[in-house]
Every structure is written in C-alpha cells, then in structure tokens.
Structure 1
C-alpha cells in the first residue's frame, strides 16, 4: 500500500484545546459558491442559511497540535439535516493531509493566530487568495460545568464517496459575542456583513473526530 506523502494519525483523532464557535443565519443569496457532497443542498429556512464557524487552538495532549479556522454549512441530504465543511484552513500539513484523505474536509494551509485570555479572544487568518479575516470575542456568561455535545459532518472524498464523520466534544463553555472583519469584497465578506446569533467559547475541550 502506498504511504501518504505526509503521514498523519489514523481515524479517530482525539484532540484537546480551546475554541470559539459561532452560529450564523445569513441570506442564502449571499452564500459563496461552495462545493457540497453529492445529494446535499443548503438547509434554507425563510431564505436564510445556517453557518457555524470554528476558531480552534488544538494543543499538545491530542494526536496533533495545530490551529484551524473552519466553516460548516447546515445541509439537507434526503430527510437528514447535518453539516458539511465548506472551507477550512490549518497551519499544519499533517492535519491538512489527514483531513482531506480520511474525511474529505477541504483543508488549505494558512497562517492562524489565536490569543485567548480569561474573558476574550482574538484570532486572525491569512492565506493565499484570502484577505486577512479577523475575529474578536468577549464573554457575557461563563458556565462552571463541563458540557458534552455531538455532531455529524457529511463530506465527499476525492473518489466521489460520500462519508459521514461523527464528532463528540466536551468542555467548559462561555457564552458571548463575536464579530468578524475582512475586506468588503473578500470571499468571506458574508461573515463581516452579519453578526453571529451566538458565540460560545469552549475552553479545555476534549474531542473525538471520526470513528
């Protein structure tokens, strides 16, 4: 069996770190022309689509340590509603190679900074073909408990196979407000034209991606 050019851990990946997750409802007409898995379509309610963005600092203690900015779109495939990663940037080649090969996540390389303190966070993405994307977050309420969550991604591999990627995560959440800024005509300007409905900082999370 041919070995991958960049070796990466096998599925599942167990990861740990800090992240800020934001939920968006944006006009469907403003969505960029993102590719979706075969048979999947944006889940549109009242002419608006649902996006979820993730700014993540994966730290030592998991199978990989890197930083990531990921955008997932809520989709409908048949009678199922799930999410599909439509864009992602990482600063680690093993994460890029593994994400693409194992699950069809369209990762690209980028420079990502993420600074978090007790009540706020600042992040920035710079990548080829993408003007800088900046994100700021501030806590409104912090919960003193660990909460679990589950999710499912629908992705398409390079051979056309549609795969389902289960995710499990737990962490100490904080509820707050976030905002994205970027150039007005940039590919991700849809995020700057709107504010997220909700942003959640998940500190000291532990997650499992894949099965």
Structure 2
C-alpha cells in the first residue's frame, strides 16, 4: 500500500469533545517515557471526528480518542484508538508515526448540525455522535502540539500544526464496546467545531 510521505497536508472539518475521566480509565498502553497529565486523579481525554475533504494529500474520514500526556514537563497527545476509511491513511499512519489506525465504515451527514457513525468491518458499532454548532460566529484559532506514539518499540514524537476557525458546539456521544472507549457520562465537558482546518502532520524531510 502506497501513501504520501510526511508531512501530510490535510484540509477539512474537525468535531472535538473534551472529557475528564478517572486516571484508572486510561487503560491503553502508552508510549515509553510519557505518562498521563492528571489533576485530582483525573485525566484529560479528547474524542474527535475528522472529515478531510479539501485539497490535502488524502481525503478520508476518521474518529479517534487521544489522551493528554507529558514527557517530563512537556505536554503532548497520545492517540490510543483511531479508525479511518482509507487504506492509505491506515498504512501511512502506522508506518510513519506509529499511529494505531484501523479501518471502519463511516456514515457522516451535515455540517453545522453534524451526525456521524462508525462501524467496524464486521458491523459492530464503534461509536456515534451528534454535534450542533451553538453560534455562527467563529474565531480563528491556530493550534500546535506534539503527538507521542510508539513506533518500532520506541517513543516517536511528531509535530502537528493546524489553522482553522473554532465555534462552540453541543455534542452527545454513544460508544460501542470495541470503539474508542466511552467516558462514564454521555455528554462531554466541552465540544468545538473546528472548520476550514488546514493541518500539517509530521516533519518536513531533512535537507542536507
């Protein structure tokens, strides 16, 4: 399977929710040298849908769960579960960055009022969600953060940079047993629609 070299330029929309969960709920293996960021015994978890439909290197959909972690005092994100509907994205994510992508079948509708469902190839529900933007007013919010994964048995850190417009949203989620793992309550702490997103994932090739 061929896939684009890094960095990947991706364009589209993201629907993001943030949760706080007990530290004991972070059960997925984390990369070496990192540990969850916790406050009063609770960790910060993000779940997100992405619809990459612009002029990027690939067009596909994905849903993921990520945990806020730290390496010493440096905050990072670790993707602990992620599903995509693109063979090239699955192969490239695993080979380039150690992102544990799996394949799924997606049903996605809407924009400001967004509905999405992801099922595993055998048909079991992974997760579903509904988002509704709370305002038409958006704010340009650039985002940059490192992603820490395990690649070839070692810690692999990849930069992520993104520009887009953010709007607050209301969201509800449903999680299947095999999906990205559901926090204990149905509604998240915070949800955002991040549109007109232009993302750069990974490092530029080294120039001698």
**Shared fold by TM > 0.5?**
yes
Is 1:172 the equivalent of 2:172?
A: no
Classify 1:175/1:46 alpha carbon distance in 2 versus 1 (closer, same or farther; 3 Å): same
Residue 205 of structure 1 is matched in structure 2 by 197
Residue 78 of structure 1 is matched in structure 2 by 72
SS of the residue corresponding to residue 64 of structure 1 reads coil
CA distance in structure 1 between the aligned counterparts of 2:175 and 2:30, rounded to whole angstroms? 24
Is 1:195 the equivalent of 2:187?
A: yes
SS of the residue corresponding to residue 90 of structure 2 reads helix
CA distance in structure 2 between the aligned counterparts of 1:170 and 1:52, rounded to whole angstroms? 18
Residue 206 of structure 2 is matched in structure 1 by none
Classify 1:100/1:188 alpha carbon distance in 2 versus 1 (closer, same or farther; 3 Å): closer
Is 1:162 the equivalent of 2:162?
A: no
Classify 1:143/1:151 alpha carbon distance in 2 versus 1 (closer, same or farther; 3 Å): farther
Matches within 5 A, 1:44-59: 44-59=38-53
Displacement of 1:142: 3.5
Contact 2:19–2:44 at 8 Å: present in 1 too? yes
Classify 1:200/1:64 alpha carbon distance in 2 versus 1 (closer, same or farther; 3 Å): same
Residue 11 of structure 1 is matched in structure 2 by 6
Structure 2 residue corresponding to 1:123, chosen from 116, 119, 130: 116
State the Cα deviation string for residues 100-152 of structure 1 (Å, max 9, x = none).
Answer: 011000000011222223x3111111115753411011111333443211121
Displacement of 1:53: 1.3
CA distance in structure 1 between the aligned counterparts of 2:32 and 2:14, rounded to whole angstroms? 30
Contact 1:28–1:48 at 8 Å: present in 2 too? yes
Residue 3 of structure 1 is matched in structure 2 by none
Residue 37 of structure 1 is matched in structure 2 by 31
CA distance in structure 2 between the aligned counterparts of 1:135 and 1:174, rounded to whole angstroms? 17
For structure 1, which runs of at least 5 residues remain unmatched after alignment?
1-5
Displacement of 1:44: 1.7
Is 1:143 the equivalent of 2:137?
A: yes
Q: Give the number of aligned pairs.
A: 202
Classify 1:194/1:48 alpha carbon distance in 2 versus 1 (closer, same or farther; 3 Å): farther
For structure 2, which runs of at least 5 residues remain unmatched after alignment?
204-208
Classify 1:204/1:37 alpha carbon distance in 2 versus 1 (closer, same or farther; 3 Å): same
CA distance in structure 1 between the aligned counterparts of 2:163 and 2:70, rounded to whole angstroms? 26
| More displaced 10-residue stretch of structure 1: 135-144 or 80-89 | 135-144
Contact 1:27–1:49 at 8 Å: present in 2 too? yes
